[in-house]
Amino acid sequence: MPPPRSILQTYRLISQRKPSAHRLFSTPPPPPSPPPSAKDVRSRLHRLNDRLPASVRPYTTPLLRAPATHITSFLILHEITAVISLFGLVAAFHYNNGLLPDMSSNQLFEEQTQKFGRWLRKKGWVEEVDVDTVAEEYGGDSAHHHGEAERSALSVQGEREGVRLILEFATAYLITKALMPVRIVVSVWATPWFSRAVLSPLGRGARGLFGRK
């Protein structure tokens, strides 16, 4: 049995090497990521404004000097109008006896069919064979024989359900993109109301909730 002095020295060596429980549990957790600042919101609006057509900028440029709540309200409304337009058009096409506006001459049509094909396949709404069918029959130059210049609509009534869904989403996206000037004007018009009736009460409620904790 070692003398007491040796035991004490051994304990001191172990204590020096092993971090204390106080140090282990006193480390503060990492701070939560801060919410988007007013500067970030304005930068996002600047980027959006730079991409807009010149005919639409007179409606959005005044927002660059507006309060941050108005800018946030506009950006939220802009996203809401896009989602409503996209899914509303898809629903309208889906229950319209398989008739779609002919978008085969649009250069983005093939790109969007591929994009939505991958997205819908990932969601499990379509199968891989549907994605391949769209790529073969509606992609590239082969799309031209599905829609001649004199035709105003593309009939997909005999196609598989998944193929129809991909084409409906791609067509709805292109129309939603074309409607951007209208969506911008509607969003700007509704911004003051949305900021006053929706965003400001939500902000006060959140501040009150976290202020009590």
- Place 209 in a pLDDT band, splitting at 50, 70 and 90: low
Model confidence, pTM: 0.73
- Residue ranges in the chain assigned as alpha helix (H): 4-17, 21-25, 38-51, 57-60, 68-94, 109-123, 128-137, 161-178, 180-194, 200-211
Judged against a pLDDT cut of 90, whether residue 166 lies above it is answered with yes
Stronger pLDDT, 23 or 43, i.e. the higher one: 43
Q: State residue 28's pLDDT score.
A: 52
Q: Angle, nearest 10°, between helix axes 128-137 and 161-178?
A: 60
Report the interhelical angle of 128-137 vs 109-123 (nearest 10°): 170
Q: 49-58, 122-131, 183-192, 200-209: which has the minimum mean pLDDT?
A: 200-209
* Count of Cβ atoms closer than 10 Å to residue 156 Cβ: 21
Three-class SS state of 37: coil
Q: Which of 91, 113, 99 is nearest to 152 (CA)?
A: 99
- Compute φ and ψ for 40, nearest 5 degrees: -65, -40
| pLDDT for 116 | 96
Best-predicted range by mean pLDDT (46-55, 93-102, 109-118, 140-149): 109-118
The reported pLDDT for the residue numbered 40 is 81
Q: Which of 74-78, 126-130, 207-211 has the lowest mean pLDDT?
A: 207-211
pLDDT, residue 90, reads 95
Model pLDDT, residue 25: 44
Could you state, in order of their start, the residue ranges of all structural domains in the chain?
70-190
